[in-house]
Amino acid sequence: MNTRTGLGATHLDVARWLGWCGLALAGIGYWGPWIRHGAVALMLLGLDLGEFVKFLPQVRSGAIALQREGFYLPVIALSVTLTITAFRRDRRPGWKTRGVLSAIAIGVSLAMLPPAWSPASLQTAEFRLQTALIAACVIAALAGPILGLLPRHLLGGIMILLAALAAIVPLWQFVRILPAVQVAYGRPLTIGWGPAIMVIGWLLLILAEGIRLLQPRRGSTV
């Protein structure tokens, strides 16, 4: 093995671990506390915000304009990234691993289902976009073998774009609604560790894919 090849393998090993650590931290942060409160029922996770904002008077009146589905971008990014990781040609995991990752990708996407949902409720205008996003993630997971045939630079670019959107959009909307949340709670808010951990996770994933994209286009079993 020549020095250049060895250095490339080392970089790809680093990228692999950075990517997995990034995905783990992004998921932990998203499902972690964004608003901390002594009462568990009043603690808000990142996943809760897509539903919670519907009940803020400032959002309902249009005084604060936002796209509540933007809070689900981390779910979409996690699901699609897991699918790409399972089937991208420069990874070549075994079929058992691919099956497990695909199942997890589908399971993650189902986190976007609203509370007390029913087939009829998913067809209403309120949840139509949410339902379409879930369907898109599930279809992507089922079509993983085809998705994996796309050029590795394109797949890496998709992952970087999704990670950037999943880091920026929910955090930006979260900051915008904080004054309204404080009014609703009637007390000063305590920000949880979730947003920071999630953003760190997405940054690590972006770094990992950046390292991969800079590697020469050679066959890899990583």
Instruction: State pLDDT tens for residues 169-207.
Output: 999 999 999 999 999 888 888 999 999 999 999 999 999
Q: Is residue 84 part of a domain?
A: yes
pLDDT score, position 22: 97
* pLDDT confidence band for 8 (50 / 70 / 90): low
Q: Is residue 111 part of a domain?
A: yes
Q: Is residue 51 part of a domain?
A: yes
User: In angstroms, rounded to a whole number, what is the distance separating the alpha carbons of residues 73 and 46?
Assistant: 11
User: In angstroms, rounded to a whole number, what is the distance separating the alpha carbons of residues 10 and 78?
Assistant: 25
Residue 26 has pLDDT above 80, yes or no: yes
User: Could you tell me the residue range of the domain that residue 136 belongs to?
Assistant: 3-213
The 10 Å Cβ neighbour count of residue 151 is 10
Q: Is the distance from CB of 108 to CB of 78 less than 8 angstroms?
A: yes
Residue 4 has pLDDT above 80, yes or no: no
Residue 160 has pLDDT above 60, yes or no: yes
User: In angstroms, rounded to a whole number, what is the distance separating the alpha carbons of residues 170 and 148?
Assistant: 28
Mean pLDDT of 125-131: 91
- Percent pLDDT > 90 in the chain is 68
* pLDDT confidence band for 3 (50 / 70 / 90): very low
pLDDT score, position 217: 61
**Lowest mean pLDDT, pick from 33-37, 90-94, 140-144, 215-219:** 215-219
User: In angstroms, rounded to a whole number, what is the distance separating the alpha carbons of residues 38 and 187?
Assistant: 12
Mean pLDDT of 55-74: 93
Mean pLDDT of 154-161: 95
Residue 34 has pLDDT above 70, yes or no: yes
Q: Is residue 220 part of a domain?
A: no
Q: Is residue 222 part of a domain?
A: no
Q: Is residue 219 part of a domain?
A: no
* pLDDT confidence band for 42 (50 / 70 / 90): confident
Q: Is residue 218 part of a domain?
A: no
* pLDDT confidence band for 119 (50 / 70 / 90): confident
Mean pLDDT of 150-168: 95
Q: Is residue 57 part of a domain?
A: yes
Total structural domains in the chain? 1
* pLDDT confidence band for 46 (50 / 70 / 90): very high
User: In angstroms, rounded to a whole number, what is the distance separating the alpha carbons of residues 118 and 121?
Assistant: 5
Residue 129 carries which side chain, given as an amino acid letter?
L
Mean confidence (pLDDT) of the chain: 89
* pLDDT confidence band for 131 (50 / 70 / 90): very high
User: In angstroms, rounded to a whole number, what is the distance separating the alpha carbons of residues 163 and 219?
Assistant: 26
Which residue reads 């604060």 in tokens? 64
Q: Is the distance from CB of 54 to CB of 60 less than 8 angstroms?
A: yes
pLDDT score, position 92: 65
